[in-house]
Amino acid sequence: MITLHALPSWAALLIALLILTGSGLALIGALGLLRFKSFYERVHAPTLGSTLGMGCILLASMLYFSIGQTRPVVHEILIGLFITITTPVTLLLLVQATLYRDRQEGRDPLDGSNRPDA
Amino acid sequence: MSRWLPSPPTTLGLLALWLLLNQSVSPGHILLGSILGLLGPFLLKRLDVPPLRLRRPGAILRLLGIFIADMIRSNIAVARVILANHPARKNGFVRIPLRLRSRYGLAALACLITATPGTSWVSYDPATGMLVIHVLDLTEGDDWSALIERRYVGLLVEIFE
Amino acid sequence: MSATILAFALVAGQVMLALAMVAAAYRILRGPRAQDRVLGMDALYLNAMLLLLVFGIGSGTTLYFEAALAIGLLGFVSTVAMAKFLMRGEVIE
């Protein structure tokens, strides 16, 4: 258990900046999920939170616990590694499923005649 | 590649995973992690995955650097696109002929393209080597084919083929 | 002073991530198609994981790390299972 006051001020400011950047990116990604018109556009939105957004928050967590406990705490790397490998796989499968369903309904988005942005 | 140590990288990876999860490098945990690392590859062998040979660690590091730089840049670009929400913005599919044929290389390329916000992998035809990606912000004059070829495919061919 | 800023950032971060979860939940409810709902659920899992990490920093214990890891694992497996279901109508072939 460590408290916020135990940190030197440069570390506290850096961690605050990383947390705000990371959660801000995740929020912008979620906003994109609401704003975009077609599914193929919406797929791009959550990657904001799962790449740089996650990276910033994991870095903040590593810095905070490493400095607070004066020993390296790096097990957050595991989450980073895991999410970086799995996010592309889930999005890829979802896009494949969507493409399959669109084609079954006779609307092939790759035809050019029926573009998703039209 | 002996009988008892079929895949040293898997063994080392499992040991590192165990030590990271337990946050300790005490002898007991190293022993437990080593047992896990020695047993793990045998389970993997039952899955019958094709053997993976990685070449050129330098190229892997360079690819990682390019990926991180691209990831940060496209994060900012996509955040701008979402916040601006410009009605004239165009998105669409781009066709790219690929010379990469290795299965692991293609898997790595799929992960790289999808993990970079703003582009996602849509489909790949192994017969023709034609890849289709979806691009969020399609501006006239951007040559995506040359971009992917220059930044990723060259290095991936070096690493996997 | 800097501790106050960090405390503020922690609260602001948690609020932003909670709003992101609301947006993802709205996408789940609204659809319009099944794949949009699955995508919304994936985003919901991801933001919940980030929220737990920020919460862990705020409470000063590494206990929340395991919970975040479990959420990340569950989110991956369930999204893959659902994508597979959308494609084939079966999860295990």
Classify residue B2: in a domain, yes or no. no
Classify domain C2-88 at the CATH class level: mainly alpha
Out of C20, C36, C57, the one facing A61 most closely (by C-beta) is C57
Question: B97 and B68, same structural domain?
Answer: yes
pTM, whole model, 2 decimals? 0.86
A26 close to C (CB below 8 A): yes
Give residue B20's identity as a one-letter amino acid code.
Answer: L
Work out the minimum CA distance from C6 to partner chain A, whole angstroms: 5
Query: Lowest-confidence range among B27-36, B111-120, B134-143, C45-54?
Result: B134-143
The answer to whether A54 and C50 are in contact (CB under 8 A) is yes
Which of C17, C71, C84, C90 is most worth mutating to test chain A (most A CB atoms within 10 A of its CB)?
C17
Residue C63, amino acid: L
- B64 and B24 in a common domain: no
Q: Is B23 near chain A, with CB under 8 Å?
A: yes
What is the residue extent of each domain of chain A?
11-103
Q: Is A77 on the interface with B (CB under 8 A)?
A: yes
- For residues B28 and B101, state if they share a domain: no
Identify which has the larger pLDDT, A111 or A95. A95
Question: Complex ipTM above 0.90?
Answer: no
Strand B119-125 to strand B130-135: parallel, antiparallel, or no bridges (unpaired)? antiparallel
Where does the pLDDT of residue A48 fall: very low under 50, low under 70, confident under 90, or very high at 90 and above? confident
Structural domain includes residue B127: yes
pLDDT digits (tens, 9 = 90+) for A3-30: 666 778 888 888 899 999 999 999 999 9
Mean per-residue pLDDT, A32-48: 86
- Domain of B106 in residue numbering reads as 57-160
> Are A99 and B122 a contacting pair at CB < 8 A?
yes
Sign of the CA dihedral running A34, A36, A42, A45: negative
The domain segmentation of chain C, as residue ranges, is: 2-88
Domain membership flag for residue B52: no
β partners of residue B130: B97, B125
A84 by Cβ neighbours in 10 Å (0-12 / 13-18 / 19+) ranks as middle
> C61-84 pLDDT, tens per residue?
878 888 888 998 898 999 988 888
| A62 shares contact with chain C (CB less than 8 Å) | no
> How many structural domains are present in chain B?
2
Phi-psi region at B139: left, alpha or beta (left = phi > 0; alpha = psi -120 to 50): beta
The reply to whether B69 and B142 lie within a common domain is yes
Name the residue among A3, A7, A89 with its Cβ closest to that of C80.
A89
